[in-house]
């Protein structure tokens, strides 16, 4: 239910559903996207949709199958462009419920977290990409701890979400999608972190919660995990490799009929952690977190659901 508030995006609920009603059927006919686990997304109340980020198309295919509006934290560049293109981009992303976020870190990251918490306080679904940016090569990268702070301070469950085939569907730097690829989305069972409520200032807890979320995403997507922030890796990967969706680091099994296997912000409240060597970081195994391995593809949940 759309309610009025101080947020400028809130009164645009009608535009959100209008865009979805118009674009939804077209997207389904042209691109034939598939979805699995929709029943795992709460029908009411606050919740966080934590997703991997493969391509620009994620903004469309992640919320498409859901009966609820999803408010995503989106990079501010989508709202600050100049000329006709900039105006169209700002109008579109504002209209579909995306909130501009400055990704420069520090106070900007804190403001992003406060905005996300207000969205949750109003009982909405909040979408976030914990990696903080799109993957440069199709692999899953270390999550930033902003998602953990949102979950603990907002006291909301986290629904892990895996975009599948998107990297091959629309590789970095490419505008035209590959129609032979069927993009998909898979929602996992909600993760309950109530056992850590009140511990949102503990960096070890924040890292453990974040790693548990990333592990759940990895199990759903079948991606290889890289224990490094994606933004750092982008500087070391040739553009040609980033544009090639068939490279060896791409997620397993993304093909014409979906998987045989498997830039919003991830506002990070633990910036100092990103500059520390792995050996000096808090023990990712504490407390009770399932920690992603540095590489490899999990065997669970890799088959595409029948009938999609």
Q: List pLDDT tens digits, range 23-51.
A: 889 999 999 999 999 999 999 999 999 99
With CA atoms as reference, report the closest residue to 16 among 99, 100, 96, 94.
96
- Residue 144 clears pLDDT 70, i.e. is over it: yes
Residue 9, CA atoms < 13 Å, CB-side half-sphere: 26
- Residue 1 clears pLDDT 70, i.e. is over it: no
pLDDT at residue 95, as a whole number:
64
pLDDT over 90, % of the chain: 45
Prediction pTM value:
0.73
* Residue scoring higher pLDDT (289 or 142): 142
pLDDT at residue 215, as a whole number:
98
Dihedral sign for Cα atoms in the order 151, 157, 162, 163? negative
Query: What's the pLDDT band for 66 if we cut at 50, 70, 90?
Result: very high
- Residue 128 clears pLDDT 60, i.e. is over it: yes
Task: Name the residue with tokens 């909301």.
Answer: 156
Query: What's the pLDDT band for 81 if we cut at 50, 70, 90?
Result: confident
- Residue 273 clears pLDDT 60, i.e. is over it: no
With CA atoms as reference, report the closest residue to 269 among 127, 151, 120.
151
pLDDT at residue 5, as a whole number:
44
pLDDT at residue 52, as a whole number:
97
pLDDT at residue 163, as a whole number:
96
Task: Name the residue with tokens 């953990």.
Answer: 148
Mark out the alpha helices in 45-182 (DSSP H runs): 58-61, 83-95, 107-121, 146-153, 166-169
- Residue 268 clears pLDDT 80, i.e. is over it: no
Non-local CB neighbours of 65 within 8 Å, separated by 6+ positions:
33, 35, 38, 185
8 Å CB contact between 215 and 291: yes
Measured distance CA(114)–CA(173) in Å, rounded: 32
């Amino acid at each position: 239910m759309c309610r009025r508030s101080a947020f400028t995006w809130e009164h645009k609920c009608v535009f959100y559903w209008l865009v979805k009603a118009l674009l939804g059927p077209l997207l389904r006919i042209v691109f034939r996207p598939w979805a699995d686990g929709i029943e795992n997304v709460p029908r009411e109340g606050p919740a966080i949709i934590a997703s991997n980020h493969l391509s620009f198309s994620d903004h469309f295919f992640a919320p498409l199958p859901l009966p609820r509006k999803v408010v995503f934290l989106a990079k501010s560049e989508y709202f600050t462009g100049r000329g006709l293109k900039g105006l169209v981009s700002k109008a579109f992303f504002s209209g579909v419920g995306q909130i501009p976020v400055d990704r420069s870190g520090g106070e900007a990251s804190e403001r992003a977290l406060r905005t996300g918490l207000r969205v949750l306080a109003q009982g909405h679904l909040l979408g976030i990409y914990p990696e903080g940016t799109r993957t440069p090569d199709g692999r899953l990268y270390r999550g930033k701890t902003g998602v953990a702070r949102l979950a603990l301070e907002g006291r909301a469950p986290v629904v892990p979400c895996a975009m599948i085939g998107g990297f091959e569907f629309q590789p970095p730097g490419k505008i035209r999608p590959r129609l032979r690829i069927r993009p998909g989305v898979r929602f996992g069972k909600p993760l309950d972190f109530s056992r850590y409520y009140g511990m949102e200032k503990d960096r070890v807890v924040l890292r453990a919660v974040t790693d548990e979320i990333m592990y759940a995403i990895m199990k759903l997507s079948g991606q290889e995990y890289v224990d490094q922030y994606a933004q750092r890796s982008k500087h070391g990967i040739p553009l040609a490799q980033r544009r090639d969706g068939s490279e060896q680091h791409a997620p397993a099994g993304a093909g014409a009929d979906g998987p045989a296997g498997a830039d919003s912000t991830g506002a990070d409240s633990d910036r100092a952690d990103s500059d520390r060597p792995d050996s000096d970081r808090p023990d990712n195994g504490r407390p009770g977190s399932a920690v992603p391995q540095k590489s490899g593809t999990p065997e669970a949940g890799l088959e595409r659901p029948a009938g999609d």
